[in-house]
Amino acid sequence: MIRTLYIDINNELKTGESPAEMTTEPRLLWVDISEPTIQENLLLSQFFHFHPLSIEDAVSVRQRPKFKEYDDYLFYVFHAIDLTTMKPEEIDVFINDTLIVTYHKEHSEEVDRAWNSVVHENDPSKISSSEIMFRTLDAVVDNYFPFVYELEDKVFSFEDRHSVDITTEALIDETFDLREDLLLIRRTVLPMKDLVYRLLEGKIMTLSKKQKIYLHHINDHLIKQAEMIESSREMTADIRDNYISLNSFKMNNIMKILTIYSIIFMPLTLLAGIYGMNFDYMPELHWKYGYFSVWIIMLVISFGMVAFFKKRNWF
């Protein structure tokens, strides 16, 4: 699907479905290509004449957030997050002073938000290609917050698990699933943070004072999100280590108890083995009180060892 927004030299804003519908030379042209067909992909080369490498980056291969500078335009790659599938969605931007093309293979709420803000702008003379790109970028970054907050809430919910009947194995599984989600969002937020920082430092494009304020706002959000993600990762690492330690502690206690019982029964087994031998001439073998005496000795040994272990606080 293609939709077109253009502002003429009189700062009148108009929309359409195709850039070919323009009746006058625009001051600014914005073409949004969403869920494109093969025919619509051809516009990038045949109508806009973009460099084949940037077209390949946009159409063929999923890229990390980045930028490239070409002769007459800049090419950016942004990553949005789909809150239903938790997967990154690529938004490609081709931009110069009079043109901006946004290209995305999936429907983008972030581009819709930027589009609506421009369409309902009271003063179209304030709109520039860089302003549209920054509004899109701001919408992309703001849409990370629900995902980051949701993961942070899940991390904090582990504090209440002591009152829930759940096994350690289940908790460990949940922790690793949570760390996987945190790694996913981290792979998106950190490269975007690096890209915005490079924009802010003026290493990509010259910025006005107003644009720098806007980028500082976006960069602050990314810094906050990155800190929340790192804090959540540290907490999940602590949770994982704590539950592994707890599991090891429980296993050690079990092994200690089993070892104590084994030690208690070792001398009893020795006595039973001795008097179970089939020799004709054995002391006390035909003694009238031999059976009861052996039982008394075995009980004394058992209770004596239990008392000794209790005194040493071994269990």
Q: Domains in the chain and their CATH numbers? A: 1-123 (3.30.460.20), 256-311 (1.20.58.340)
Could you report the per-residue pLDDT of 226-247, keeping only the tens digit for each?
888 888 888 888 777 777 777 7
Sign of CA dihedral 282, 285, 288, 293: positive
Sign of CA dihedral 247, 249, 252, 256: negative
- Residue pair 105/111 in contact (Cβ under 8 Å)? The answer is no
Q: Average per-residue pLDDT in the chain?
A: 81
pLDDT value for 166: 56
pLDDT value for 163: 46
Q: DSSP assignment, residue 313?
A: T
DSSP letters spanning 227-263: HHHHHHHHHHHHHHHHHHHHHHHHHHHHHHHHHHHHH
The predicted model gives 69-74 an average pLDDT of 86
pTM for the full model?
Answer: 0.72
Could you report the per-residue pLDDT of 192-201, keeping only the tens digit for each?
888 888 888 7
pLDDT value for 87: 79
In the predicted structure, residue 168 carries a pLDDT above the cut 80: no
- Residue pair 221/142 in contact (Cβ under 8 Å)? The answer is yes
Spatial CB neighbours of 287, under 8 Å, sequence gap ≥ 6: 293
Q: In the chain, what percentage of residues exceed pLDDT 90?
A: 0
How far out from the chain centre does Cα 41 lie? 32
Phi, psi for 32 (deg, rounded to 5) = -110, 120
pLDDT value for 154: 80
- Residue pair 183/230 in contact (Cβ under 8 Å)? The answer is no
- Residue pair 20/43 in contact (Cβ under 8 Å)? The answer is no
In the predicted structure, residue 132 carries a pLDDT above the cut 80: yes
Could you report the per-residue pLDDT of 291-307, keeping only the tens digit for each?
888 888 888 888 888 88
Three-state secondary structure readout of 59-119:
HCCCCCCEEEECCCCEEEEEEEEECCCCEEEEEEEEECCCEEEEEECCCCHHHHHHHHHHH
